[in-house]
Amino acid sequence: MSFDSECIFCKIVAGEIGSMPVYEDANTLAFMDINPVVYGHTLIIPKQHWQNLYEVPDDQLAEVSATAKRVATAISKALVPDGVSFVQANGKGAAQSVLHFHVHIIPRTLGDDLKINWKLNPGNPDQIRSAAQRIVRELQ
């Protein structure tokens, strides 16, 4: 089991710090982003610690992809956005701030004009929770 005791996402997987999970299976976890760029912004991670796309083994990548598809499908039904974007950053130049491989699922609104390097602003916990509850209901 690959684990980094300094990694914030490993701490979430281990239950050492809280998160708002929406889906979990043996090797992957989906939870709400604490700095959402939009309502419903969700992260998908492998439970094991791999820094980036280059490190994550293909079988783990396949499992993350399957979870990302499952959660994006639930988001598209529960939140009814105009679209859904996947963003996955590798390295400083790509604005990767947490060095544990992850995929952002971002519900989109026509004309939202989102920039790929968004600012990390704290989200409203009630709004994040409400989005999580709607996604979880769809996944059940």
The Cα-based distances of 73 to 47, 58, 76, 107, 116 in angstroms read 21, 22, 5, 11, 22
Strand partners, 105: 42, 86
How far is 42 from 46, CA to CA, in rounded Å?
14
Question: Is the CB of residue 43 less than 8 Å from the CB of residue 32?
Answer: yes
The yes-or-no answer on residue 100 being catalytic is no
Among 23, 31, 50, 101, binds ligand DGP (CB under 6 A): 31
Strand partners, 103: 44
How far is 124 from 7, CA to CA, in rounded Å?
23
- For position 35 contacting ligand DGP by CB under 6 A, the verdict is yes
**Closer Cβ to ligand DGP, 16 or 82, answer by number:** 16
Helix (H) or strand (E) holding 76: helix 58-78
- For position 34 contacting ligand DGP by CB under 6 A, the verdict is yes
Q: What is the x/- site pattern for ligand DGP, positions 89-128, by CB under 6 A?
A: x-----xxxx---------------------x--------
* Active-site residue identified among 41, 49, 100, 102: 102
Give the shortest CB-60-to-ligand DGP separation in angstroms: 18
**Closer Cβ to ligand DGP, 22 or 43, answer by number:** 43
Active site residues: 102
Query: By the criterion CB under 6 A, which residues form the site for ligand DGP?
Result: 8, 19, 31-35, 43, 89, 95-98, 120
